[in-house]
Amino acid sequence: MTADTCSIAFKHGLTMSALCLVLALSGCATPQQRAISAHCEAEGLRGVPQQLVSQQVMRAVYVGDRTVGSKNTCRTEMRESKDKQGNITKVRETICKDEPIVEPVYQQRLVNEVIDLNAIARRNFVTTCSADAMARRMYSNLK
């Protein structure tokens, strides 16, 4: 996603998740479906504006890693070396080391989240608008 895309999204009041959904859905859509989607999204924002509120919610928050064990990893190498007389000696060397096995640790914490109280109503409006526009064959001239 480019900086231009982000600035356009925020100018029109789209959250990043809504923008990602629109972009993902429009990736395989026909030009008609993309035009209808853009039209209905704009109408949805105009008809059902955002009502953003901040609220505290419990979320799992990453706090670090915990070592739960270790695994022994070995590798064998063949080395060649020359002595002063020029004789080549081959040496097989096995190197082993213990590597920790870690897993992420999360804790439930209260965090502030900004939510849009009108998001569901707007999504329903956009769904209805899109269905109506397809039925009326809006933008059907686009190829």
The domain locations on the chain are 1-51+117-143, 59-116
How far, CA to CA in Å, does 98 sit from each of 12, 47, 75, 76, 110?
Answer: 53, 61, 12, 15, 38
Helix (H) / strand (E) element for 64: namely strand 52-82
pLDDT tens for the chain, 143 residues long, are: 434 444 444 444 444 444 444 444 445 788 889 999 999 999 999 999 999 999 999 999 999 999 999 999 999 988 888 888 888 888 888 999 999 999 999 999 999 999 999 999 999 999 999 999 989 888 888 77
- From the centroid of its chain, how far is CA 49? 25
Spell 17-35 as b/e; 16+ CB within 10 A means b: ebbeebeeebeeeeebbbb
Helix (H) / strand (E) element for 98: namely strand 88-116
Q: Record the pTM.
A: 0.49
